[in-house]
């Protein structure tokens, strides 16, 4: 890469070369035109003289005179040959210029180089009365002209001009090199000083000599002043960097502690949700198990009485009929309540195992949503809120059912706790639609709605409207992280104050293999 000095020199050389080239081209054109005009005049003069002097000599067949006339005209170097032809005998006389410049006679009509010009030779004879008779063609003359002289002159002029341009360019380069050093040598020292200032590790100030009394001297003195100022700030900057480095280490440690605490809180929230599920299911199972136990006790007592009657031989038909009625009723109660307990245990077992193991498997979506909602009945039966499910059958997901149960649970309970006041009657609708390889799930309530100032922050951690009332602000944050990071989907929320809220989840039917970069980008897009 050229420096400024090299580029200035190149610019001046190009400008001078162009100017001299244009000037030389014009001079070359003018010289060529003059040579062409001179050559044309020479041709015209030679032909005129030959047409004037040769006819009479040729009429008299005076070969010596013809040779002399031709030899006299061969003096200009532009003439290659002159050949005179008689109308009867052919070549009458001729002269040829050899390569060494000498002139010799032409003995035969061989091919001659150069540009030929042919002219007729007409003889005019005056009669006795002095009247001019009609001219008689007595022969023709062929003159060959050469352009070698013109080309040589033009070539010599080109060489002269090229030599002149090269000499001027060399003089210009030398002059510029000497003159620009006055400016660029101090600039180079200033540049070296800047590089040294940027790379030198010590705090010592090495000032540039400022003995010049011109503009560059003022620049160097200004640089020295700046260098001293910069050096005076280096120590303070280094001290600030040390403090910043210590603060960064402290901040990084605090951030790491905060991240671990947040992860612990998230895990605690999930475990708390599972613990609430366990407590609710245990309470719900207590009733059918108690009824079944009571019915079994009644049946056992009736059986002992019948057994004693049979053993004593005092059994009656009425005793047997009463026992059968008691057995039938007890059996019915035991079967119904055992079935109810088994159904609750099955739903709880599947959901609990899914949430703890976080295993991936294929499952049918509608049945699984029904199981999740069934597991929430101990919580829902204490309210006047109904949950309806609108999901087409046979939608199969290859995904993480435990995480999906966590999402549905958190969204449903979030609606129960935040959308309605205690004792309010309301409805929560879980709707599902499938489009190609994606599903869209909507969780809609007709409750109070979300305030506009909180609508953009509902998925942020620790954001809650029930601070101090048991709300942690982590439920919807867990939902967002699961949808974005584990399912590779999106979740959006919309709400009109007083008209409820709508959460819309979009996720693939087949959860993709984890791609941290893609999932984080998607999470940032919707955060």
Nearest C-alpha neighbor of 224 from the set 203, 188, 194: 194
The larger pLDDT score, comparing residue 314 to residue 429, is at 429
Pairwise CA distance, residues 477 & 461, whole Å: 5
Nearest C-alpha neighbor of 270 from the set 432, 455, 510, 486: 486
Please give the structure tokens belonging to residue 364.
């049918």
pLDDT band at 310 (very low <50, low <70, confident <90, very high): confident
Please give the structure tokens belonging to residue 145.
């002209």
| Residue 515 burial (CB count, 10 A) | 11
- Average pLDDT for the chain: 79
Pairwise CA distance, residues 268 & 471, whole Å: 13
pLDDT in tens, 404-458: 888 998 899 888 888 898 888 999 999 999 998 999 999 999 999 998 888 888 8
pLDDT of res. 427: 93
The per-residue DSSP string of 137-188 comes to EEEEEEEEE-SHHHHHHHHHHHHHHHHHHHHHHHHHHHHHHHHHHHHHHHHH
Is the pLDDT reported for residue 523 higher than 60? no
**End-to-end CA gap in the chain:** 49
Q: Beta strands of 54-134 (E only): which ranges?
A: 79-86, 90-97, 103-105, 115-123
Strands 425-435 and 384-390: parallel
Whether 82 and 70 have beta carbons less than 8 Å apart is answered as yes
Cα angle value 431/437/442 (rounded, 5°): 15
Nearest-10 crossing angle of helices 317-357, 401-414: 100
| Residue 54 burial (CB count, 10 A) | 26
- pLDDT average, residue stretch 289-295: 79
| Residue 64 burial (CB count, 10 A) | 9
Tokens 């014009």 sit on residue: 26
Pairwise CA distance, residues 374 & 387, whole Å: 10
Q: Is 369 exposed, middle or buried (0-12, 13-18, 19+ CB in 10 A)?
A: buried
132 DSSP assignment: B
Dihedral of the CA atoms 259, 264, 267, 272 (nearest 10)? -140
- pLDDT average, residue stretch 320-334: 83
Collapse the DSSP code of 363 into the 3-class scheme (helix H, G, I; strand E, B; otherwise coil) and give the result. Answer: strand
pLDDT in tens, 61-87: 888 888 898 888 888 888 888 888 888
Is the pLDDT reported for residue 240 higher than 80? yes
pLDDT in tens, 109-120: 766 777 788 888
pLDDT of res. 129: 47
Is the pLDDT reported for residue 521 higher than 50? no
Specify the long-range contacts of residues 126-132, CB closer than 8 Å, at least 24 apart. none
Dihedral of the CA atoms 230, 235, 236, 237 (nearest 10)? 70
Pairwise CA distance, residues 246 & 59, whole Å: 124
Please give the structure tokens belonging to residue 223.
């640089």
Pairwise CA distance, residues 205 & 232, whole Å: 10
Nearest-10 crossing angle of helices 215-312, 365-375: 80
pLDDT of res. 468: 45
Pairwise CA distance, residues 32 & 26, whole Å: 10
Q: How big is the chain, counted in residues?
A: 527
């Amino acid at each position: 890469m050229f420096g400024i000095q090299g580029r200035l020199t190149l610019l001046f050389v190009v400008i001078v070369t162009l100017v001299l080239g244009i000037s030389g081209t014009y001079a070359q054109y003018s010289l060529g035109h003059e040579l062409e005009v001179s050559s044309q005049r020479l041709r015209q003069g030679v032909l005129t003289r030959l047409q004037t002097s040769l006819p009479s000599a040729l009429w008299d067949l005076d070969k010596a005179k013809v040779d002399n006339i031709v030899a006299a005209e061969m003096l200009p170097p532009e003439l290659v040959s002159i050949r005179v032809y008689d109308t009867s005998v052919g070549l009458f006389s001729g002269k040829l210029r050899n390569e060494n410049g000498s002139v010799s006679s032409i003995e035969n009509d061989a091919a001659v180089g150069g540009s030929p010009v042919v002219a007729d030779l007409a003889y005019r004879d005056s009669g006795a009365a002095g009247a001019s008779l009609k001219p008689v063609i007595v022969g023709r003359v062929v003159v060959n002209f050469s352009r070698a002289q013109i080309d040589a002159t033009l070539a010599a002029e080109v060489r002269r001009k090229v030599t002149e341009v090269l000499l001027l360019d060399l003089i210009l380069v030398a002059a510029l090199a000497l003159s620009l050093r006055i400016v660029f040598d101090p600039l180079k020292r200033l540049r070296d000083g800047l590089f040294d200032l940027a790379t030198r590790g010590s705090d010592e100030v090495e000032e540039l000599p400022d003995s010049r009394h011109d503009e560059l001297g003022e620049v160097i003195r200004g640089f020295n002043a700046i260098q001293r100022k910069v050096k005076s700030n280096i120590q303070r900057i280094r001290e600030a960097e040390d403090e910043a480095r210590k603060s960064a280490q402290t901040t990084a440690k605090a951030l790491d502690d905060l991240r671990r605490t947040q992860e612990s809180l998230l895990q605690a929230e999930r475990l708390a949700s599972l613990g609430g599920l366990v407590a609710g299911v245990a309470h719900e199972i207590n009733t059918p198990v108690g009824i079944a136990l009571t019915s079994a006790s009644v049946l056992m007592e009736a059986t002992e009485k019948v057994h004693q009657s049979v053993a004593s031989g005092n059994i009656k038909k009425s005793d047997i009929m009463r026992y059968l009625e008691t057995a039938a009723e007890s059996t019915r109660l035991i079967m119904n309540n055992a079935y109810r307990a088994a159904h609750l245990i099955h739903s709880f077992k599947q959901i609990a195992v899914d949430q703890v193991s976080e295993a991936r498997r294929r499952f049918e979506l509608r049945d699984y949503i029904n199981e999740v909602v069934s597991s929430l009945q101990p919580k829902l039966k204490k309210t006047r809120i109904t949950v309806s499910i609108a999901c087409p059958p046979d939608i199969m997901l290859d995904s993480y059912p435990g995480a999906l149960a966590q999402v549905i649970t958190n969204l449903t309970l979030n609606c129960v706790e935040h959308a309605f006041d205690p004792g309010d009657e309301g409805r929560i609708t879980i709707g599902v639609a499938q489009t190609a390889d994606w599903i869209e799930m909507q969780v809609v309530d007709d409750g109070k709605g979300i305030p506009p100032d909180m609508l953009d922050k509902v998925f942020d951690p620790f954001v809650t409207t029930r601070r101090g009332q048991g709300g942690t602000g982590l439920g919807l944050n867990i939902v967002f992280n699961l949808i974005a990071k584990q399912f590779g989907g999106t979740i959006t929320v919309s709400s009109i104050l007083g008209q409820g809220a709508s959460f819309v989840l979009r996720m693939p039917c087949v959860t993709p293999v984890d791609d941290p970069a893609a999932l984080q980008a998607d999470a940032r897009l919707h955060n």
